[in-house]
């Protein structure tokens, strides 16, 4: 059945809109130019019961660790170019190198290396949801332990 | 010529009496002097006459009494709720509305499907893919633990320090590992 | 003393059926003519006209008086007629029969002053040309030709602006003229 001209115009317009939305979705799957990586360095201990208000957004995750006290020591963001890497300074003479590996299905693949001086402590590859995070912890520091919240946002 | 074009566009409104007195007078004056526009007026008036003849031929053929009886019968008839709903729904599914509704629905479905691309974690971050997936771990001989906590969708990699080496030099013992 | 449409409507709203009967008496012919102009079939036009008044009766309490009663009843009638046109699934043979019937009746009442249209071929072509218009374009032609309604009133009935009425009339007349150029 042939639609009248004005109806054909409307069908065409909305089909075009649908195509643009679909194309946009396709575009959103392409590799991002840079990824902003954020490292929150937290001191967890059982010295007291204080919970740093700045860590409110991570409260549910940190409670998993069952320490009594959490204090934010440092919050650092760096833009990591695609197939590049950046190094974050971690208290206690340590450093964390983050390299981008892949971007697929809205998940960011990271290669992470924690070192103490020149000594590697941990190498791991993880895939996190865009705007998601994971927790890396354990190294001792000032009577407690360091907990790193590592998150990434594709730009 | 431009005047004739403009007047051709306004001829119908002029003959229908929808123009202001000034506009009407302007057109009347032009038509009086322009043979082409007079011909256009003649054709439009002839069309109008033909339309009246074709459409008004039946003007006196229905009687009131039978018509009113038929309306009364309809009023007296009790309609079921679904007949009313059907009447109402017929108004919804006209061709022009369908022409808007169908592509709009397609666009809406695509937009919802695309929401994750544009607004990741819009479902509150508690979706299936919220967990970080750990593909490989190398703790270089140290003890390491991997934990996934489902309620908060948290992935934790925990590095246990070398207890023997640390105890020789540290002033105070390192705190025990997390109690997860 | 004759009551105004507004007064009759108010009486209807209090349940006076005789007031509604008076309104039907005043407008049944006009409504029928407009619908016939749109549907081009007597039986369908009668049914739709009756349905239009039935619906007006059912909705009479919701009539606020923002427009005149005749605009309101025309709106109901034209919408029903446009819906009916879209649902019409006549095969070509049935269509021709209804058209021939209509033309024959025009011959019977050809003693009227509009007997300028005595050329059967012109009428046949005109009828076909009117039927080729979209329901919306046909509606403006019918309301203007049969009722001589203003663009403002036509716009109120069809739920569109005066500008839309104007452009639809212009387009419809141009289309009809193009199709009937040999006869005009």
Q: Which residues constitute the domain of residue B28? A: 2-55
C8-17: string of b/e by CB count within 10 Å (b at 16+)? bbbbbeeeee
Chain A residues in contact with B135 by the CB 8 A cut-off are 109, 125-127
Higher pLDDT, B3 or B179: B3
From chain B, the residues in CB contact with A63 under 8 A are 152
What is the model's pTM?
A: 0.49
Q: Are both B10 and B46 inside the same structural domain?
A: yes
CB pairs under 8 A between B and C: 121
The whole-number pLDDT of residue C2 equals: 85
- Predicted pLDDT of residue A21: 65
- The residues, any chain, with a CB within 8 Å of residue B92's CB and separated by 6 or more, are none
From B18, B54, B94, residue closest to C86, measured CB to CB? B94
Pairwise pLDDT comparison (B97 vs B102), residue with the higher score: B102
A26-46 mean pLDDT:
81
Higher per-residue confidence, A98 vs B127: A98
Give the three-class secondary structure for A139: strand
B14, B54, C95, C116, C130 from C120: Cα distances, Å = 29, 10, 17, 11, 15
Helix, strand or coil for residue A130?
A: coil
Q: What is the total count of domains within chain B? A: 3
- B125 found inside a domain: no
Most confident segment among B39-53, B98-112, C117-131? B39-53
CA distance C170 to chain B (A): 7
Number of neighbouring beta carbons within 10 Å of residue B64: 13
Tell me, yes or no, whether B121 lies in a domain: no
Pair B49, B15 in one domain: yes
Specify the 3-state DSSP secondary structure of C97.
Answer: helix
Q: For residue B140, give the nearest of A6, A22, A120 by CB distance.
A: A120
Of B55, B75, B97, the last residue of a domain is B55
DSSP assignment string, chain B: -HHHHHHHHHHHHHHTT-S-HHHHHHHHHHHHH-HHHHHHHHHHHHHHHHHHHHHSTTTT---HHHHHHHHHHHHHSPPPHHHHHHHHHHHH--HHHHHHHHHHHHHHHHHHHHHHHHSTTTT-S-SGGGSPEEEEEE-TTSEEEEEEETTTTEEEEEEEP-HHHHHHH-SSPPPPPP--
Residue A27, pLDDT score: 55
pLDDT of residue B126: 44
Interatomic CA distance for residues B143 and B159, integer angstroms: 6
Instruction: Report the pLDDT value the prediction gives residue B2, as an integer from 0 to 100.
Output: 56
Q: Distance between CA B54 and CA B63 in Å, rounded?
A: 21
Do B76 and B41 share a structural domain? no
Q: Are residues B103 and B146 in the same domain?
A: no
Cβ within 8 Å of residue C105, ≥6 positions away: B57, B58, B61
Contacts of C21 in chain B (CB under 8 A): 68
Let me know whether B11 and B51 are in one domain.
yes
Q: Is B163 within a domain? A: yes
CA closest to C28 among chain B residues = B64
Mean pLDDT, 10 residues at a time, chain C of 184 residues: 89 91 93 88 90 93 86 92 76 43 45 51 82 89 89 92 93 92 78
**CA torsion, ordered C55, B95, C135, B13, to nearest 10 deg:** 110
Same domain, B135 and B180: yes
- Where does C1-89 sit in CATH, by number? 1.10.1740.10
């Amino acid at each position: 059945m042939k639609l009248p001209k004005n109806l054909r115009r409307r069908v065409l317009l909305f089909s075009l809109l649908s195509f643009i939305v679909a194309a946009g979705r396709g575009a959103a799957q392409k590799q991002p130019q840079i990824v902003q990586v954020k490292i929150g360095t937290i001191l967890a201990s059982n010295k007291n019961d204080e919970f740093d208000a700045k860590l409110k957004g991570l409260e549910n995750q940190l409670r998993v660790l069952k320490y009594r006290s959490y204090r934010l020591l440092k919050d650092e963001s760096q833009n990591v170019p695609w197939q590049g890497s950046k190094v974050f300074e971690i208290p206690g003479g340590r450093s964390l190198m983050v390299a981008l590996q892949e971007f697929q299905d809205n998940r960011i693949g990271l290669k992470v290396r924690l070192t103490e001086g020149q000594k590697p402590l941990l190498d791991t590859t993880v895939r996190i949801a865009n705007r998601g995070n994971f927790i890396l912890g354990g190294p001792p520091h000032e009577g407690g332990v360091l907990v790193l919240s590592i998150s990434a946002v594709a730009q | 010529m431009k005047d004739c074009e403009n007047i051709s566009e306004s001829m119908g409104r002029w003959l229908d009496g929808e123009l202001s007195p000034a506009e009407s007078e302007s057109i009347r004056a032009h038509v009086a002097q322009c043979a082409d526009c007079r011909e256009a007026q003649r054709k439009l008036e002839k069309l109008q006459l033909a339309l009246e003849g074709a459409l008004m031929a039946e003007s006196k053929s229905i009687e009131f009494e039978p018509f009113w009886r038929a309306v009364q019968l309809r009023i007296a008839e009790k309609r079921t709720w679904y007949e009313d709903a059907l009447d109402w729904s017929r108004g919804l599914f006209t061709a022009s509305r369908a022409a808007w509704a169908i592509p709009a629905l397609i666009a809406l479905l695509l937009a919802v499907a695309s929401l994750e691309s544009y607004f990741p974690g819009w479902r509150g971050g508690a979706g299936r893919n919220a967990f970080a997936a750990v593909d490989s771990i190398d703790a270089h001989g140290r003890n390491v633990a991997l934990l996934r906590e489902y309620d908060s969708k948290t992935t934790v990699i925990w590095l246990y320090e070398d207890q023997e080496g640390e105890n020789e030099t540290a002033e105070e013992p390192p705190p025990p590992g997390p109690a997860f | 003393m004759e009551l105004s449409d507004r007064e009759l409507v108010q009486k209807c709203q209090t349940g006076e059926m005789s007031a509604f009967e008076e309104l039907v008496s005043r407008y049944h012919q006009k409504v029928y003519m407009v619908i016939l102009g749109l549907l081009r079939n007597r039986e369908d036009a009668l049914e739709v006209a009756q349905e239009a008044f039935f619906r007006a009766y059912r909705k009479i309490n919701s009539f606020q008086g923002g427009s005149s009663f005749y605009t309101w009843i025309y709106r109901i009638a034209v919408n029903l007629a446009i819906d009916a046109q879209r649902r019409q699934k006549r095969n070509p043979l049935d269509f021709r029969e209804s058209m021939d019937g209509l033309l024959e009746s025009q011959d019977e009442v050809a003693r009227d002053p509009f007997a300028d249209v005595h050329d059967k071929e012109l009428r046949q072509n005109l009828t076909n040309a009117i039927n080729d218009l979209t329901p919306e374009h046909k509606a403006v032609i019918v309301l203007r030709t049969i009722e001589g309604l203003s663009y403002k009133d036509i716009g109120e009935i069809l739920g569109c602006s005066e500008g839309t009425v104007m452009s639809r009339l212009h387009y419809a007349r141009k289309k009809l003229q193009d199709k009937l150029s040999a006869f005009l």
